[in-house]
Amino acid sequence: MKNYPKVVAASLVAAAMTVSCVSKKKYTELENDYNNTRSELVKTRVAKEDLEARFEAIEQRVDRYNEKIASLQASQEGMMVKTADGDLVLSDKNKAAMRRTLQNVPSEKLSGATTLKDSVNLAISYKMSQRLSGVNEGKNIDMKIENTVVMIEIADEMLFNDSSYRVGNKADDILEKIAQVVNSEPSLEVLIEGHTDSRTVREGSYIKDNWDLSTERAAAIARRLSTKFEVPNEQLIVAGRASYDPVAANDSNENRARNRRTQIIIMPDLDKFFGMLESETQIVN
């Protein structure tokens, strides 16, 4: 019995240690749960604030659009206006501008315009042909106006040396005239397409293939229009068609020369085009 107090004391110490260990482990778990919950709460709050900011931005954007639509409907001065049925039609201002332009169009051409679309196309064709008068001069240049699009084809011999994309100075006269038209009206976009014949590029050349050559030539014309004649870059579009859009069979030197060309396509943005009609057409009483 002499050892009984020692046994009891040891048992009490062991029990105390066990309780202490369990309590610390439980505390650690609770602390981790608390920290995780707090972290999730912070994330949720940030996400909520982000969603609220996005929603507010969307609401502001919708308000701006509604104000713009209301302004167009109220003033009848916009490019296009909305009817009560929700259809978009020409504003009264633009109808008047188009009528004044059409008064200058020869009667034989007017007789073929039976719809509003025909009239718009005719007005655009007339205005663009007036602006580009003098461009279609020379055997190496061909200009066509179809509906609302002006297509100018320039033979590569007027622009580049053989298998090269360096623009020569003799191209500047025609490019300057085109630049003057484009710079006078920000509603115009210019698509520049390069075309080659079907001959393959010499092995080891710095040009990879006809895709490379046609694209580099189109880009070179775009750079010339931009750097020398100050055409805004945002109005220029570049494309290379290689030899896959020929105008003649690649069976003779003459036909291959026809296929080596650069096409410059001038396309008006109809939302802005009527400003050009209004600014340049004399009012007829």
CATH number at residue 176: 3.30.1330.60
pLDDT at 214 > cutoff 60: yes
Closest CA to 173 of 158, 190, 195, 192: 158
Q: What is the pLDDT of residue 196?
A: 93
Q: What is the mean pLDDT of residues 7-28?
A: 57
* pTM for the predicted model, two decimal places: 0.57
Same domain, 112 and 247: yes
How many domains does one find in the chain? Answer: 2
Same domain, 249 and 114: yes
- What confidence category does residue 211 fall into, taking pLDDT thresholds of 50, 70 and 90? very high
H or E element at residue 152: strand 149-155
- What confidence category does residue 281 fall into, taking pLDDT thresholds of 50, 70 and 90? very low
Q: What is the pLDDT of residue 243?
A: 95
Q: Encode pLDDT of 134-193 as tens digits.
A: 665 566 788 787 766 888 898 888 888 767 888 988 888 889 988 988 888 777 889 999
- Tokens, residue 242: 């290689």
> Pick the residue with more confidence: 187 or 263?
263
Residue 140 within any structural domain of the chain: yes
Radius of gyration of the chain from its Cα atoms, rounded to whole angstroms: 36
Residue 95 within any structural domain of the chain: no
Residue 96 within any structural domain of the chain: no
> Pick the residue with more confidence: 261 or 45?
261
Same domain, 147 and 61: no
How would you class 9 by CB atoms within 10 Å of its CB: exposed for 0-12, middle for 13-18, buried for 19 or more?
exposed
Residue 91 within any structural domain of the chain: no
Same domain, 66 and 162: no
Same domain, 70 and 147: no
Tokens 């029990």 sit on residue:
15
- What confidence category does residue 272 fall into, taking pLDDT thresholds of 50, 70 and 90? low
Residue 82 within any structural domain of the chain: no
Q: What is the pLDDT of residue 174?
A: 85
Q: What is the mean pLDDT of the chain?
A: 76
- What confidence category does residue 237 fall into, taking pLDDT thresholds of 50, 70 and 90? very high
Same domain, 128 and 229: yes
Residue 81 within any structural domain of the chain: no
Residue 204 within any structural domain of the chain: yes
Residue 84 within any structural domain of the chain: no
pLDDT at 284 > cutoff 50: no
pLDDT at 285 > cutoff 50: no
Residues in CB range of 125: below 8 A, 6 or more apart? 145, 146, 147, 148
Q: What is the mean pLDDT of residues 251-256?
A: 93
Same domain, 127 and 268: yes
Same domain, 161 and 209: yes
Q: Decide which of 32, 59, 75 is a domain's last residue.
A: 75
* Domain housing 7: 1-75
